[in-house]
Structure 1
Amino acid sequence: MGRIKNYFKEQFQIRKFKLEHDSSYDFYESCFQNNRSALPLLIIRGLLFLACLGIILVSFILTSTVLSLRFWPIYLTHWGLVLITVASGFGFAVSAKAFYGGPVDQEFAVSYALDILIHAVNSVLMLVLLFTASHPSNLLHFYFAIILAVIYVIFNVIYYFAGGTDPFGNAFIYPVLDWSNPGVAGITVVFSAILIIILHIIVTLMTEARDAIARSCGRNTRKFSLSQY
């Protein structure tokens, strides 16, 4: 109980809202290694980044065979693809710097392979990115995901009132976000926000589990401060 109490005491501090962390090596070193070489994570992140780029490329190609690519950016799934590609790209860039410098529905008819790529494989890639790193996940950082959700809702509302349609002429992108029925759409937004917070808590717990497993594997738990550089 004491450890749990200390954990929540550490997490619920004003400074945890900020993007600050004392240990820079946590951002380029895997939690499962005992040295400070950036090479292992550089290789893993490079492969993940290439995989993400490949998924987006395949998504573009296969989507273009069934509908106009101008509709590609309206889907939240595709926003997610872009974000995980950016995330894996930043991860790869950080590791490189450290190493070298010290179906949606029946009507849509999306191919099975594309459906798996954009709805399952992307999640697996991000879990691999999470479990092979050692940077922290703070409970109070849930607001980043909420901000993204709010931005998409704003875009969705503007798109609706501007007369935008999905590829099939419907006045909505997702049926649950049909703003001609604001009650259902509003409830969807609220429950989605709650789900985002719950999922963020789960990811934070997974991060703690990752670190616990790493410690049990004998990972060096040394502390390293940015002030050393």
Structure 2
Amino acid sequence: MDEENSAMQKKACKPATLARMWQASRRALHLDHAPAHHFACCQWQSSLAPCTSYLVYRWLLFITVVSTGIASFVCQRLPPRYEGPKVELNYFKWFIYFTNWGFLMIALQAGLALAVVHRYRSQKTFINPCEDDDALMPRRSRTPLLCRAYWLAQNVATDLAFVITLIYWTLVHDPKIHDINALNLLVHGGNSLAMICEILVTAHPIRAAHALYGVGAGIAYGLFSAVYWACGGTDRFGMPAIYPALDWNKPGSAFGFVALCAVVLLLAHAFATCLALLRARVAARFRPARAQADRLTLPTH
């Protein structure tokens, strides 16, 4: 009898355990964080309100990223040492490249971050959720949609930037064709430097589970490249593959390349998460007052 009761209890525990695991996974993936004004602040400031220097930084980054993106689009040309068949340059093929998808994400997150700062600059008071003495268990308000959109864009832009820089300089760059000039360095190296700077400056956390968003963006590009190839699309030189490593005429190697990129995206997000944790620890040591204020907030998930 005891054995039957024990077996029944074990069966009952399994659904409950799976339900708890599912709820924990959903909490890890959501984009809620309290207090929300962390998205508008610099990690190294002492006040709760967005400081003027951080606003200036956000404007400078936004203008720089947008200017670089426009220059990359406008200054398209065939490489000086290109010896292939003569082709007519199609400017709109700028949008088919993974590098430019990543740069558009950086511009999007820079614009959303700027909008978040302006939103909270107009707010008069900043009260941590746990500072309400009238409630034993204060109810956390949902993170505003603008902040969640910025956080999602920032996660994806960071992961893509790291992977684009790594893959371009190891697999794509051909010294016989590609020039090493200021614009090339900004697009394929400055992107990662910009996102490292973002991680070191911003005050909001980076969650390990959010790596799935970057992986999803990478897989989405892989699907786009397959559909583009199936529709007869070509790269700017008229070749059927956007990238030699992503040639869907060889589906095995193309699938392998997409899988490799997914793994590298996971590693890139792990690096970003560790860097954000290091930033928070260093800031807590040098800004103990700010760290104490942060400890009074509700859990992030």
Normalising to structure 1: TM-score of the pair?
A: 0.87
Report runs of 4+ in structure 1 exceeding 2 Å deviation: 64-68, 100-111, 223-226
Q: How far off its partner does 1:106 sit? A: 4.8
Please state if 1:98 is matched with 2:98. Answer: no
Please state if 1:83 is matched with 2:152. Answer: no
Query: Partners in 2 of 1:182 and 1:52 — Cα distance?
Result: 35
Kept after mapping to 2: 8 A contact 1:63/1:110: no
Aligned residues: 215
Kept after mapping to 2: 8 A contact 1:56/1:82: yes
Query: Partners in 1 of 2:194 and 2:240 — Cα distance?
Result: 33
Q: How far off its partner does 1:101 sit? A: 4.1
Query: Partners in 2 of 1:170 and 1:64 — Cα distance?
Result: 16
Q: Aligned in 2, Cα 1:172/1:107: closer, same or farther, shift over 3 Å?
A: farther
SS in 1 for 2:75: helix
Structure 2: segments with no counterpart, 5+ residues: 1-23, 80-88, 125-168
Equivalent pairs: percent with the same residue? 27
Q: 2:90 is matched by which residue type in structure 1?
A: S
Q: How far off its partner does 1:21 sit? A: 0.6
The correspondence for 2:283, drawn from 208, 214, 219, is: 214
The correspondence for 1:70, drawn from 80, 83, 92, is: 92
CA RMSD in angstroms comes to: 2.0
Give per-residue Cα distances to partners, 1:31-81, cap 9 Å, x unaligned: 111112312321111111111011111101211576321210010000011
SS in 2 for 1:150: helix
2:219 — aligned with what? 150
Please state if 1:17 is matched with 2:19. Answer: no
Query: Partners in 2 of 1:100 and 1:183 — Cα distance?
Result: 54
The correspondence for 1:124, drawn from 181, 186, 193, is: 193
Query: Partners in 1 of 2:239 and 2:77 — Cα distance?
Result: 19
Query: Partners in 1 of 2:28 and 2:272 — Cα distance?
Result: 16
Q: 1:89 is matched by which residue type in structure 2?
A: G
Give per-residue Cα distances to partners, 1:133-156, cap 9 Å, x unaligned: 110100111111011112111110
Please state if 1:43 is matched with 2:60. Answer: no
**Aligned ranges 1:27-42 → 2 under 5 Å:** 27-38=39-50, 39-42=52-55
Please state if 1:58 is matched with 2:46. Answer: no
Give per-residue Cα distances to partners, 1:160-215, cap 9 Å, x unaligned: 01111111111100000001111111111111111111111111010000001111
Give per-residue Cα distances to partners, 1:95-132, cap 9 Å, x unaligned: 11111344943565456122101101111111111211
Q: Which shifted more, 125-134 or 105-114?
A: 105-114
Between structure 1 and structure 2, the one with the greater Rg is: 2
Q: 2:185 is matched by which residue type in structure 1?
A: I
Normalising to structure 2: TM-score of the pair?
A: 0.67
